[in-house]
A and B are shown apart, each in its own frame.
Chain A
Amino acid sequence: MLEIKSKLTSISFQRTVNIIWSLLVAVLALGFALFPILFVVAAAFNPTGALSTTTLIPNQISLKNFSDLLSDPAHPFLLWMWNSLKVSVITAILAVMISSFGAYAFSRFRFPGRQGLLYSLLLIQVFPNLLAMIALYIIVYQIGRYFPPLGLNTHAGLIFIYLGGALGGTIWLMKGFFDTIPRELDEAAVIDGASRGQVFFYIIFPLIRPILMVIGILSLIGTYGDFILARILITRTDNFTIAVGMSLFSNLQYNVEWGKFSAGAILGAFPIVILFYATQKWIVSGLTRGAVKG
């Protein structure tokens, strides 16, 4: 009798500990992550436009910054946000595709130069690319002379440049993930008569969904907030992405419109957070566990 009782309490005890512990961790982590962001929120709602890191609750609260931000025809914030979303989503989809093809090749095939190539891919990404900006600008300009839709000041050109990094460091992550899926699966399918392409799409692809989503999200965030490349390649205000557009409010130390900038930062972060929330079920699916068998 006593044995059974202690066993029962032990399970529910464990459950309680787990929940309390999770909540504690969550609160601490959220506190750490959100602490500075609360000041951004405060500044966004502060109509005087000041960025105070001393008082959390501003003297006046209003939506003035938001309305200023969204109603300025010279600075079309919503258009910028749309531009950024468009560019980053397309880049993410293409980057994930290109990256997964590459990772598949590295994982499944053995060919001469394989190790060398993997090493080189990593090393070349590590090259400090300060001067790359000049080179990339000239490349896009030259391409634009013959294929105008891909030239300077176009979104297609910007996406094209972003894809240069598709085979970057994340290919290791993908390859590692691919490696955990046993080759027996591939081989079984090939014996059944499937082509390599079919193996990729019908067998491997569903199993690597979590990592595809992760890399997609990483790519998305990276390009969404990119400031350096977009600033050089996009010159017309209407074509700006969100980071470039917002930088017009902050002339580095002088006349910075903190209120509008903060409001823009908050609004700009929304799509990312929502996207991440919505796509989490594909990352943490649980479907992939146990795919080993059979």
Chain B
Amino acid sequence: MKSKISKVGGPKRPSTSPLGFLAGYTLKLIGLAILDAIALWFLSQLYKDQVWFMFIVIGVITIGINLVFLVEKLYPFQWLAPGLALMILLVVYPVFFTIYTAFTNYSTSNLLTKSQVITALQSEQYISADGPAFSWTAFRSPEGAFAIWFISSDGKGYLGMPGQLLEQPLPGQGNLGALDENGVPLSLTGYTRLTKAQTVKHLTELTALQFGTKPGIITIASISKAAQYQQKYTYLPEQDQLLDNETGIVFTPVNGNFTSPDGTSLNPGFQVGVGLKNFIKLSNTAALRGPVLLVFSWTIGFALFSVLFSFALGLFLSVTFQNSLLPSVLIKAIRSVLLLPYAIPFFLSVLIWRGLFNQTIGVINRIFEALFHFSPLWFNDPGWAKAAIIIINVWLMFPYMMLITTGSLQSIPADLYEAAEVDGASSWQRFWKITLPLLLVSVGPLLVFSFAGTFNNFGLIFLYNRGGPPVPNTPTPIGHTDILISYVYNLAFGTSNADYGYASTITIVIFIIVAIMTIAQFKYTKVWEEV
């Protein structure tokens, strides 16, 4: 595919005949028309199924694309169209989703929508105290119709056909055969008696059938039980209440759960908007009374030093190999192998580093013992633990830095170096005055971006030592290597339950903090300067 696109050479004299121009324009219109057709079909389907969020997003994108391709003034956006469209759907929308969730109680116990909860509750059934319960055996005709022989708890046998009243025929009457020792007919004319295995196979069908007539409809609940099930709850739309048919208690929706007057609430709960409740909860949390400043400063330090050191190392390596006189095959091989930390699964590498840093039997401490006669406490001491984490992060990030600096170095024209050499500049001066500034123009934003990413990178922190060593005397659990995001997320995420609404709130607050830092860094590094 590459060979189709890239052609080295000067500009060709293009065909600018009016016909060519018209052909191009027509092609564009046809393409747009096809796109619109697909989009309109898609939108109509979404409208029909009431998937509103997608309807809006796709609608906005379609309108945008049309505008961009038809309005000449918006020509630059034609180049941006595919990227922006994807971004709006896949990045912008989830951000809005998160923001919206922050104002709801969406959590693992309030997972479903209200209508889903109503459906679920209305499908609950109960057997009234005097309602009959049966064991049953199935019979099936060659055409696939079923007949069921019910035996009630007091031993009476009934024949049931779907939709009809139960009968109590005697053996020999109608199509009934003789009864076996359990009171179940051995045969039924026109039907074969099903074995248990065969019955199980048809269970899904069987559970959909209804026997008897209202109000005493009997349904099959399981392989062993059929009964007159009543619907337990009925939803009353006008009063927005749920009536318990068995006990008569009325439940009203309160904060996402149907609650009875005496306070018992029904599971499952549903999502509702809760306004600013999550934000208020966050501002009142005990976690904020803990050593937040400590965590914050470590988070900044962690991100800063990781980026700084890995960039320095990566840049150093790319410059060295760029100017190296070793045979290029060797250099290419060295660079490729140096990529490995970036290519090995993160989980595995961190685990190995954990083992290497092990205080008693790890290789690193054995070396330290031999050379310096002391073993740093890479896990139990806050300072050494932080150092270990930064070392690991530098190891993880430097190939990336090496890669982007290698690429960016190519953009610096060679004649600049030649001119400087002629002027008598040393290689050190050449680096500082030419290489670095020009490099930072393109790489600078990426460093800012890496900083923001590292700021929120709690994967490493968690895998290394779960944020430990723990800090004593705090209102909520906190470790010395916890970063801001791992510290507060613990408030929202338990072992298997999660409060997504609260987590979204925390996300927004952290985002604001990071955004401010990012913008500040941008302004500071004046990366906006253009060449």
Q: Which residues of B contact A (CB under 8 A)?
A: 1, 5-14, 16, 42, 45-46, 49, 51, 54, 74-77, 79-80, 82-84, 86-87, 89-95, 97-98, 101, 313, 316-317, 320-326, 332-349, 351-356, 358, 361-363, 395, 398-400, 403-404, 406-408, 410-415, 438, 441-446, 448-449, 452-453, 456, 485, 489, 500, 503-504, 507, 510-511, 514-515, 518-519, 522, 528, 530-531
In the complex, whether A210 has a CB less than 8 A from a CB of chain B is: yes
The residue in chain B whose Cβ has the minimal distance to the Cβ of A203 is B11
Of the candidates A29, A122, A211, A217, the one whose C-beta lies within 8 Å of that of B317 is: A29
Verify A218–B400 contact, CB threshold 8 A. Answer: yes
Verify B441–A176 contact, CB threshold 8 A. Answer: yes
The residue in chain A whose Cβ has the minimal distance to the Cβ of B8 is A206
Residues of chain A within 8 A of B408, CB atoms compared: 173, 176-177, 211
Verify A261–B348 contact, CB threshold 8 A. Answer: yes
CB distance from B499 to the nearest CB of A (A): 11
Residues of chain B within 8 A of A119, CB atoms compared: 519, 522
Of the candidates B83, B92, B332, B363, the one whose C-beta lies within 8 Å of that of A53 is: B363
A118-156 interface code vs B (CB 8 A; 1 in, 0 out): 010111111111111011100100110111000000000
Could you show 21 A-B contacts with beta carbons less than 8 Å apart? Answer: A18-B324, A26-B326, A36-B352, A39-B356, A54-B362, A127-B98, A131-B94, A131-B507, A136-B94, A146-B45, A163-B90, A164-B87, A167-B83, A173-B445, A179-B442, A198-B14, A202-B9, A202-B11, A225-B343, A225-B345, A273-B343
Residues of chain A within 8 A of B361, CB atoms compared: 54
A194-227 interface code vs B (CB 8 A; 1 in, 0 out): 1110110111011001110111011001001101
By CB atoms of chain B within 10 A, which of A15, A104, A160, A218 has the most? Answer: A218
The answer to whether residues A265 and B348 also contact, given A21-B320, A53-B363, A198-B14 and a CB cut-off of 8 A, is yes
Of the candidates B74, B92, B444, B528, the one whose C-beta lies within 8 Å of that of A115 is: B528
Residues of chain A within 8 A of B10, CB atoms compared: 202-203
CB under 8 Å from chain B, chain A span 9-36: 15, 18-19, 21-23, 25-26, 29-30, 32-36
Q: How many A-B residue pairs have CB under 8 A?
A: 346
The answer to whether residues A276 and B449 also contact, given A139-B89, A211-B408 and a CB cut-off of 8 A, is no
The answer to whether residues A214 and B404 also contact, given A128-B510, A277-B333 and a CB cut-off of 8 A, is yes
Q: Would you list the 10 A-B pairs with minimal beta carbon distance, nearest first?
A: A176-B442, A53-B355, A164-B90, A214-B407, A172-B445, A167-B83, A132-B94, A105-B79, A22-B324, A109-B76
Verify B511–A122 contact, CB threshold 8 A. Answer: no
Count A interface residues, CB 8 Å: 125
Cα distance A124–B352 in the bound complex, in angstroms:
34
Residues of chain A within 8 A of B9, CB atoms compared: 202, 206
Residues of chain A within 8 A of B75, CB atoms compared: 109, 196
The answer to whether residues A33 and B352 also contact, given A127-B507, A170-B446 and a CB cut-off of 8 A, is no
Verify A211–B80 contact, CB threshold 8 A. Answer: no
Of the candidates A15, A195, A211, the one whose C-beta lies within 8 Å of that of B14 is: A195
The answer to whether residues A290 and B83 also contact, given A22-B324, A123-B515, A273-B340 and a CB cut-off of 8 A, is no
In the complex, whether A184 has a CB less than 8 A from a CB of chain B is: no
Of A61-69, A94-102, A232-240, the one contacting chain B is A94-102
In the complex, whether A230 has a CB less than 8 A from a CB of chain B is: no
Residues of chain A within 8 A of B332, CB atoms compared: 277, 280-281
In the complex, whether A8 has a CB less than 8 A from a CB of chain B is: no
